[in-house]
């Protein structure tokens, strides 16, 4: 078997939405009107906390694919004012959010128990508009949402090898910035975080053999497996990984932006940042290198994501262990591409229709579990009832 990133084709049914004349697609998709369509045509469950479980109309996989979005489209009309990461979500919402995640991930592992047969992942992405709004890949819905995806490994094995130079797989060259110049600094910084359930993976042990990914990303094994997801401590540590990443990212790019910049405001681990970053020669030398490049290369400078951009996920490795990883800098790559899966979506209503009944059956099974746990009420659509 050849190891390498795979490119699969996933059929979908075209969405019957017309973008109003004079609006760009990303402007319309951030509107309350679009979110109404998401609820009424694809919504599965919603709760008083504003969390909406829905079917992915433009999905990554027709084996299983769902999302939870923190739907603030009516309560916060300014798209740039909406929460886009867990660290911005009220604790009461986060508690419900984490329980929903735990139940859905447990269902996925129960329904798909064999790691040789399926690739299972769940995670989220930063949806900050942290690069020019005219650029391709600007978030279509600027609200925090999670992905829950299952890929059939037989389909992946049969799929052609993706172009390894695809910028979405290589992170546009900025992924190598961390690896080539700050690998030791980056990992030493994470070692300073207070983690008990999450334990660093040994080199290579977290890769999916079929794709050879993830590549170069810090990864942690969840000791205790799926049962650990029932513990509040796990979700606090999951947040700690994100907070540490945000501190590292903000500190680095503040130094790129301004030589000898002060400590960023409102960081989570000021002592760790001061001791392991602001006095580290390799860290500051790399910041200078990027700064000098930005000054002389307008195209390079325009591609910089100055604010924290990330994708963080939980996935099952080949040994059946649950792993947490986080990207180092994302320039529009899909969350699946962290694991070496490139998805090419193709409009094909007939092919999607063949998969749809089984997919909906699974989605409704997940919904029943969430309703039983008092995590929301079912939504009726043209495709399913509210019960």
- Residue range 81-127, pLDDT digits in tens: 888 889 999 999 999 999 999 999 999 999 999 999 999 999 998 76
* Rounded Cα gap, residues 273 and 17, in angstroms: 47
Q: Is the pLDDT of residue 173 over 50?
A: no
- The mean pLDDT of 16-24, rounded to a whole number, is 78
| Residue 271: domain span | 6-378
262 falls within a domain: yes
For the chain, give the number of residues. Answer: 387
Question: Which residues have C-beta within 8 Å of that of residue 376, sequence separation ≥ 6?
Answer: 45, 46, 47, 51, 53, 100, 370
386 falls within a domain: no
42 falls within a domain: yes
3-state secondary structure 246-297: HHHHHHHHHHHHCCCCCCCCCCCCHHHHHHHCCCCHHHHHHHHHHHHHHHHC
Q: At 47, list the tokens.
A: 């709760």
Q: Is the pLDDT of residue 183 over 90?
A: no
Residue 354, pLDDT score: 96
173 falls within a domain: yes
Residue 105, pLDDT score: 98
Q: Is the pLDDT of residue 137 over 60?
A: no
350 in the Ramachandran plot: left (φ > 0), alpha (ψ -120 to 50) or beta?
Answer: alpha
Under the banding of pLDDT at 50, 70 and 90, the label for residue 304 is confident
How many domains would you assign to the chain? 1
Q: Are strands 322-326 and 219-222 parallel, antiparallel or unpaired?
A: antiparallel
Radius of gyration over alpha carbons of the chain, in Å? 21
Q: At 30, list the tokens.
A: 């951030």
Under the banding of pLDDT at 50, 70 and 90, the label for residue 28 is confident
Q: What are the tens digits of pLDDT across the range 192-236?
A: 999 999 999 987 789 999 999 988 788 999 999 999 999 999 999
- The mean pLDDT of 172-201, rounded to a whole number, is 83
Cβ contact 46:53 at 8 Å? yes
**Higher model confidence: residue 101 or residue 143?**
101
387 falls within a domain: no
Q: Which of 56-65, 296-305, 325-334, 372-381 has the highest mean pLDDT?
A: 372-381
The CB density around residue 297, as the number of other CB atoms within 10 Å, is 11
Q: Find, among 82, 59, 60, the residue nearest to 72 by Cα.
A: 82
* Rounded Cα gap, residues 220 and 201, in angstroms: 5
163 falls within a domain: yes
Cβ contact 83:89 at 8 Å? yes
Q: In Å, what is the CA distance from 276 to each residue of 186, 246, 260, 352, 375?
A: 9, 15, 15, 51, 41
Collapsing DSSP to helix, strand or coil, 20 comes out as coil
25 falls within a domain: yes
Q: Whole-structure pTM over 0.85, yes or no? A: yes
Q: Find, among 218, 224, 264, 208, the residue nearest to 240 by Cα.
A: 218
Round the average pLDDT of the chain to a whole number and report it: 89
Residue 205, pLDDT score: 82
73 falls within a domain: yes
Find out whether the peptide bond into 214 is cis, omega within 30 degrees of 0. yes
Asked which of 55-64, 70-79, 114-123, 234-243 is least confident by mean pLDDT, the reply is 70-79
- The mean pLDDT of 245-255, rounded to a whole number, is 94
């Amino acid at each position: 078997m050849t190891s390498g990133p795979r490119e699969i084709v996933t059929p979908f049914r075209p969405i019957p939405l017309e973008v109003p004349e004079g609006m760009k697609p990303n402007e319309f998709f951030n509107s309350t009107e679009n979110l109404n369509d998401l609820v009424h045509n694809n919504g599965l469950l919603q709760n008083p906390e504003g969390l909406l479980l829905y079917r992915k109309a433009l999905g990554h996989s027709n084996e299983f694919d769902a999302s939870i979005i923190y739907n603030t489209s009516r309560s916060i009309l300014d798209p740039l004012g909406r929460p886009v990461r867990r660290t911005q979500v009220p604790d009461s919402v986060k508690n419900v959010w984490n329980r929903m995640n735990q139940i859905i991930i447990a269902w996925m592992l129960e329904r798909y128990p064999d790691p040789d047969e399926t690739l299972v992942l769940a995670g989220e992405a930063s949806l900050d508009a942290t690069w020019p709004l005219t650029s391709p890949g600007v978030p279509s819905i600027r609200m925090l949402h999670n992905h829950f995806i299952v890929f059939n490994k037989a389909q992946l094995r049969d799929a052609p090898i993706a172009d390894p130079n695809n910028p979405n797989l290589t992170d546009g060259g900025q992924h190598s910035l961390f690896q080539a110049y700050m690998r030791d600094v980056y990992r030493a910084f994470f070692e300073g975080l207070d983690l008990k359930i999450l334990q660093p993976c040994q080199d290579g042990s977290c890769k999916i053999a079929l794709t050879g990914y993830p590549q170069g990303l810090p990864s942690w094994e969840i000791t205790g497996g799926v049962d650990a997801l029932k513990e509040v401590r796990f979700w606090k540590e999951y947040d700690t990984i994100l907070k540490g990443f945000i501190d590292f990212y903000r500190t680095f790019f503040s130094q790129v932006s301004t030589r000898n910049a002060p400590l960023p405001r409102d960081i989570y681990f000021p002592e760790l940042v001061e001791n392991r970053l602001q006095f580290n020669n390799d860290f500051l030398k790399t910041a200078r290198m990027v700064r000098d490049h930005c000054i002389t290369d307008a195209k390079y400078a325009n591609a910089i994501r100055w604010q924290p951009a990330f994708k963080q996920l939980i996935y099952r490795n080949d040994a059946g262990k649950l792993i947490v990883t986080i990207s180092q800098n994302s320039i529009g790559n899909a969350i699946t591409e962290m694991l070496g899966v490139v998805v090419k979506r193709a409009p094909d209503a007939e092919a999607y229709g063949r998969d749809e009944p089984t997919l909906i059956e699974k989605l409704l099974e997940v919904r029943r579990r969430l309703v039983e746990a008092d995590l929301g009420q079912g939504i009726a659509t043209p495709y399913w009832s509210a019960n």
